[in-house]
Amino acid sequence: MMIVTKCRPFSFLSPACLVSLTIRLVVLFMLSGLSKSKSMEEVEDISHYHNEKTTTTTADATRTAVIAPGVEKPLISLGTGGGMYGNRSVVEKAVLSWLHEDVGGRGIDTAIDYNNDDLVGIAWTKSGIPREEIFITTKQPGPIGYQETITALEESLIRLQTSYVDLYLIHFPNPDNNPHHKSAKELRQETWKGMEEVLRRGWTRSIGVSNYGISDLRDTLEVAAVSPAVNQVLWNPVTHDDALLEFCSSEGITLEAWSPLGGSKSRHGEVLNLPIMKHIAASHNN
């Protein structure tokens, strides 16, 4: 089982605490073997896995997992959507703070729909960190077609001020706009061929999907010469789909969690209200 995460900043958590909470959440989640049948009391009982006071180091932010041949992805990436969505004023500062040596973050996750990838480009170039040391993920909106997929990444690279990204995702499985009146399955398959083309051109080091269910993945795998490296979905101890994880594992697809710490919307899960999370946070309240 493989889970990597992206998370958005919370105003009341320091970057170091955010790293530690997320790393330990993933470890606790995997150790506990949580499933939807578990009660909240059983979730809270895993607190015995974290009784000691811990110290967060930059190593926590730079641990990696292999997602494709020759491609290692940081276990944690800073998501620039979520609380940042529509608030461009905080993006550059957040990315610079994440990349700062005190935190050591190297994974950054953005998307065309976030309308802030240009600020990510400004921030990473200001940081002075060599491009090859930073892992940049971006997403095109959904199954938009073969040529549209290529054009979308070409334009994103200009805004990101880079010649390549490390991971390129299809943000959603269903089209918002379908002027050619193709079926969603047909568009998903056509779009995946566009994803494989940008991989072939070297514009991205790996390709994947986001918010895909099992049937969406099967549609893609029917025509894939290169399987998705990643499926990025909502996943945390409160909200998760174990069957999807099992399917991804069987197909060699890394599952990446968004909102691993939950969020303000109930559909994201009230993770930060769990006693175990408060306990971990308190251990870093020096």
pLDDT at 272: 76
Q: What is the mean pLDDT of the chain?
A: 81
pLDDT at 10: 46
Nearest-CA neighbor of 45 among 282, 275, 242? 275
pLDDT at 97: 92
Distance (Å, rounded) from C-alpha 238 to C-alpha 196?
Answer: 34
Distance (Å, rounded) from C-alpha 106 to C-alpha 95?
Answer: 9
> What Cα–Cα distance (Å) separates residue 1 from each residue in 65, 203, 256?
12, 29, 11
Nearest-CA neighbor of 105 among 121, 127, 83? 127
Tell me the pLDDT tens digit for each residue of 29-80: 433 333 333 333 333 333 333 333 334 455 566 789 999 999 999 998 998 8
Question: In degrees rounded to 5, what are phi and psi of residue 233?
Answer: -140, 165
Contact 83, 272 (CB under 8 A): no
Q: Which amino acid is at 259?
A: S
Distance (Å, rounded) from C-alpha 171 to C-alpha 212?
Answer: 9
pLDDT at 232: 95
pLDDT at 69: 95
Check residue 204 and report its DSSP letter.
B
All residues at 6 or more sequence positions from 249 whose CB lies less than 8 Å from its CB, including other chains: 1, 2, 255
Q: What is the mean pLDDT of residues 257-280?
A: 74
Question: In degrees rounded to 5, what are phi and psi of residue 42?
Answer: -70, -35
pLDDT at 27: 39
Distance (Å, rounded) from C-alpha 5 to C-alpha 18?
Answer: 12
Residue environment code for 22-32, b if the CB has 16+ CB neighbours within 10 A, otherwise e: bbbbbebbeeb
Q: Which amino acid is at 206?
A: S
pLDDT at 32: 36
Contact 242, 35 (CB under 8 A): yes
Distance (Å, rounded) from C-alpha 198 to C-alpha 172?
Answer: 18
Tell me the pLDDT tens digit for each residue of 217-267: 999 999 999 999 999 998 888 888 999 999 999 999 999 999 887 765 555
Distance (Å, rounded) from C-alpha 125 to C-alpha 131?
Answer: 8
pLDDT at 186: 95
Distance (Å, rounded) from C-alpha 73 to C-alpha 135?
Answer: 7
The one catalytic residue in 49, 114, 164, 212 is 114
Distance (Å, rounded) from C-alpha 269 to C-alpha 266?
Answer: 5
Tell me the pLDDT tens digit for each residue of 10-35: 444 454 445 444 544 443 443 333 33
Q: Is 114 a catalytic residue?
A: yes
pLDDT at 180: 72
E strand or H helix at 221? helix 214-223
Vertex 171: Cα angle to 167 and 177 (nearest 5)? 135
pLDDT at 37: 33
Tell me the pLDDT tens digit for each residue of 126-167: 999 999 999 999 999 999 999 999 999 999 999 999 999 999
pLDDT at 107: 94
Q: Global pTM?
A: 0.82
Cβ neighbours, 10 Å, residue 74 = 24
Distance (Å, rounded) from C-alpha 215 to C-alpha 188?
Answer: 11
Nearest-CA neighbor of 149 among 203, 204, 208, 192? 192
Tell me the pLDDT tens digit for each residue of 180-216: 788 999 999 999 999 999 999 999 999 999 999 999 9
